[in-house]
Structure 1
Amino acid sequence: MRRWISFISHLALMVIFASFVSFSTEKEVIKVPAGLRVLEPVEVCFPSETAIVSEETPNPIFLNNSFVGFKEALAFKESQGKYGVVNTLGYLGKYQFGANTLKLMGVYNVEDFMQDPVLQERIFQLNVARNKWILRRDIKRFVGKRINGVTVTESGIVAAAHLAGAGNVKKYLRTYGREDFSDAYGSTIAYYMRKFAGYDVSQISAQRNPKI
């Protein structure tokens, strides 16, 4: 009798074990709805340029070499693209302008400037136009030449002028890089020339003394 009970118990355990193995190894088949099926080859485009991420834009913004790409890349370097930033030296806004530079272009109310993103964008474009005018002869003379191992481009010159002022960029170019400039945070003309080379800034025309 005991042997019979033992046999029945072992048989029950084997049945349970076999059921468990069958259940655990069985693959679940999920059917894809007809509307979501890909039936033909699909071309996938990947970004070829820099991805910029900031707290205000948590999803990456992929930029090409257009003027928009140029200004957003420069803004990210200056302030992470934030309109409300004032740095430790008192430079203002998304593009970190000094108060004196703003006055040159007709902006005298700093508070209004800080609260107006449209004005900040407009001033940036005017400053590019202004620097291109001041450096117009140097742009014509030096674009395509190599200085400190970097091919000089118009966008590199414009970016360097934003950092150091057009006068310091003239010195840098005309001394073939021997007279560089470094700001309080260690950024140099040579670095900006390299970092912001190759963008298309042709949509902004040189303008003498532009004002808002």
Structure 2
Amino acid sequence: MSLNSVKNFVIPFTICLLGALALYPSPSLNPETYSTEGLELDYNISEEFAMMTQDYTIEQSLFTPHLGKSFEGFKEALAFKESRGNYFTVNTLGYLGKYQFGAETLKLIGIYTPNQFLYNPELQEKAFVANAERNKWVLRKDIKRFEGKKIAGVKITESGILAAAHLAGPGNVKKFLRSFGTNNLSDAYGSSVKYYMKKFSGYDTSTITPDKKARVTL
């Protein structure tokens, strides 16, 4: 059979076959009857390619809100320093949660059940605000006196004072300020009042209202 004859036969036959398939679709294309039974589904890709894909996906999908120097930014920056933002962590000294509260500090703001506190993120967030309100009241005169000045090479700001009070308590912040940096308490992990003053300076904590009797309520 010549090549032309083959072409004349095959081309019309192919057209007819495609037309027939279009008119009578295969049952396997029906989603109700589709099955993966018997198919080889165990595919692997190289580790290098997998890592490249993972990195690309993370880079493209990761979204981090820009909190800047807002109060939310202040909270999250301090929380990251304290616990990397983990609500459910307890450190080696027994400090609890995202902001690493001690049991005695919690009592001052009306929380007497540390276990309930540890497993309640909403309670932890309210505790942070209440503690900041109490500290701001205790330190209100020192904030007015020292804000904007430089002590031991650190520009004093309200947010720095409140962060240092969270670390070491308002009494030790007073000692630092009134000794002009000579009395610089450090915690068991080496973080000092001066370090917190500097690291957390310049945030907007104006929304915190000084409150001598700040308490947490759910």
| Secondary structure of the structure 2 residue equivalent to 1:111 | helix
Residue 82 of structure 2 corresponds to 78
Counterpart pick for 1:158 among 154, 157, 162: 162
Task: Kindly indicate whether residue 186 of structure 2 is the aligned counterpart of residue 182 of structure 1.
Answer: yes
- Which has the larger displacement, 59-68 or 90-99? 59-68
Residue 123 of structure 1 corresponds to 127
The structure in which a higher percent of residues are helix is: 2
* 1:115-155 per-position Cα deviation (integer Å, ceiling 9, x unaligned): 11000000000000000000000000000000111110000
Q: TM-score, normalised by structure 1?
A: 0.71
What does residue range 34-49 of structure 1 map to in structure 2 within 5 Å?
none
Deviation of 1:61 after TM superposition, in Å, equals 4.3
Give the ranges of 4+ consecutive aligned residues of structure 1 lying more than 6 Å apart after TM superposition.
none
Task: Kindly indicate whether residue 76 of structure 2 is the aligned counterpart of residue 66 of structure 1.
Answer: no
> Which residue identity does 1:136 align to in structure 2?
R
* 1:11-56 per-position Cα deviation (integer Å, ceiling 9, x unaligned): xxxxxxxxxxxxxxxxxxxxxxxxxxxxxxxxxxxxxxxxxxxxxx
* 1-structure distance, mates of 2:65, 2:91: 24
Residue 195 of structure 1 corresponds to 199
| Secondary structure of the structure 1 residue equivalent to 2:207 | coil
Residue 99 of structure 2 corresponds to 95
Closer, same or farther: CA 61–76 of 1 in aligned 2, 3 Å: farther
Aligned-residue identity in percent: 61
* 2-structure distance, mates of 1:175, 1:127: 24
* 2-structure distance, mates of 1:142, 1:131: 15
* 2-structure distance, mates of 1:87, 1:59: 29
Larger gyration radius, structure 1 or structure 2: 2
| Secondary structure of the structure 2 residue equivalent to 1:124 | helix
* 1-structure distance, mates of 2:81, 2:64: 15
Counterpart pick for 1:138 among 126, 142, 160: 142
What does residue range 11-50 of structure 1 map to in structure 2 within 5 Å?
none
* 1-structure distance, mates of 2:189, 2:103: 19
Counterpart pick for 1:211 among 205, 210, 215: 215
Q: TM-score, normalised by structure 2?
A: 0.69
User: What is the aligned residue count?
Assistant: 155
* 2-structure distance, mates of 1:90, 1:103: 15
* 2-structure distance, mates of 1:130, 1:89: 23
